[in-house]
Amino acid sequence: MATANWLTASPSVFLTRQVNSPVSFASRTNQTPCRSRVSFQGCVKRRIPVVLSMPATEGSGVVAVKSVLPGNGISIMVNGCSGKMGKAVIKAADSAGVNIVPTSFGSAAEAGQTVEVCGKEITVYGPAEREKVLSSVFEKHPELIVVDYTIPSAVNDNAELYSRVGVPFVMGTTGGDRNKLYVTVEEAKIYAVISPQMGKQVVAFLAAMEIMAEQFPGAFSGYSLEVMESHQASKLDASGTAKAVISCFQELGVSYDMDQIQLIRDPKQQVEMVGVPEEHVSGHAFHLYHLTSPDKTVSFEFQHNVCGRSIYAEGTVDAVLFLAKKIRLKSEQRIFNMIDVLREGNMR
């Protein structure tokens, strides 16, 4: 008789060792139970929660941390404010007391439009006006940090603009030519946080995976891997987070091709098969990584499920505060990532 798994909707990470009963796609969501319907053949004995802890680093600059707490002069300009992620970041930043500049960049079709978020009217400017507008805003708000949640095709042009003007930025937009992106910012020697994954807890899980891959290469040699990821229908490509986790498994000795990732994008399947709550079909990230030993007697399961966008928005605000602190401490001007933000140990 198959053992039922229950779903509750909040971010979670599980490391599972399994013996003697079928395994199914489970998530944890809002304390609202519902049965999962996607199964992989395997055996379950118990789930061991992965607990990740990072102490604050010594000499992290308590005075500087206090000086960059919300309400201390930081201003952000959110490009892509008409999108769901842009709006989520504005709401999170506003709740944290960060000043929102009423200016944003969008497409040519959006130029001249006004977007209202949190009672603030934000004017959207098109590509032709960007450099002049950004220079003017930066002059008016010298502690400005730009947050970018635009589209993949705009990543490199936007990074070049921020670099020319010299404005610090947090890049949450995925895609584009990533090598070119890093070269552009490194040559400009400006402050930036660049990360395709802004969810702090998911980043901590990725960091743990990287440590395991580095310290125990080949530990899963011979194991087979099955990967399933479910995202809103508007996400057409495979998750960058999934690819990063898979690359760790490859270093651990697993043979797997990225083309084998099972992408679930159909809303009906997401609700009925994966167990995504209906209210989060338009914004979620459910990932399952299932490993099976060569003789099929042992299996492991790694899973992280996210409903909504608040985890990414909050992480983005922490990245902004982190970058503001680095600027005020006159730290080295370079590219940081979310691992750096986590290591700082000063998240809200």
Cite the active site residues. 231, 235
| DSSP string across 166-228 | T--EEE----S-HHHHHHHHHHHT--EEE-S---HHHHHHHHHHHHHHHHSTTTTTT-EEEEE
Annotate 255-275 with DSSP letters as a single string.
---GGG-EEE--HHHIIIII-
The residue with tokens 């760790």 is 248
CA–CA dist 336, 333 (Å, integer): 9
Q: What are phi and psi of 114, to 5 degrees?
A: -120, 130
Cα-only R_g, the chain = 21
254 neighbors 225 (Cβ within 8 angstroms): yes
**Residue 333 CB burial class (10 angstroms; 0-12, 13-18, ≥19):** middle
The answer to whether 174 and 240 have CB atoms below 8 angstroms apart is yes
Residues 6+ apart with CB under 8 A from 9: 27, 28, 29, 30, 32, 277, 280, 305, 307
Distance of CA 316 to the CA centre of its chain: 9
**109 secondary structure, DSSP code:** G
| Element housing 35 (H / E) | none
In whole angstroms, how far apart are CA 241 and each of 207, 227, 251?
A: 11, 12, 16
Name the phi and psi angles at 39, rounded to 5: -125, 145
Q: Is the dihedral of CA 122, 174, 317, 279 positive or negative?
A: positive
How is residue 228 written in tokens?
A: 């399933």
Tally of CB atoms within 10 A around 176: 19
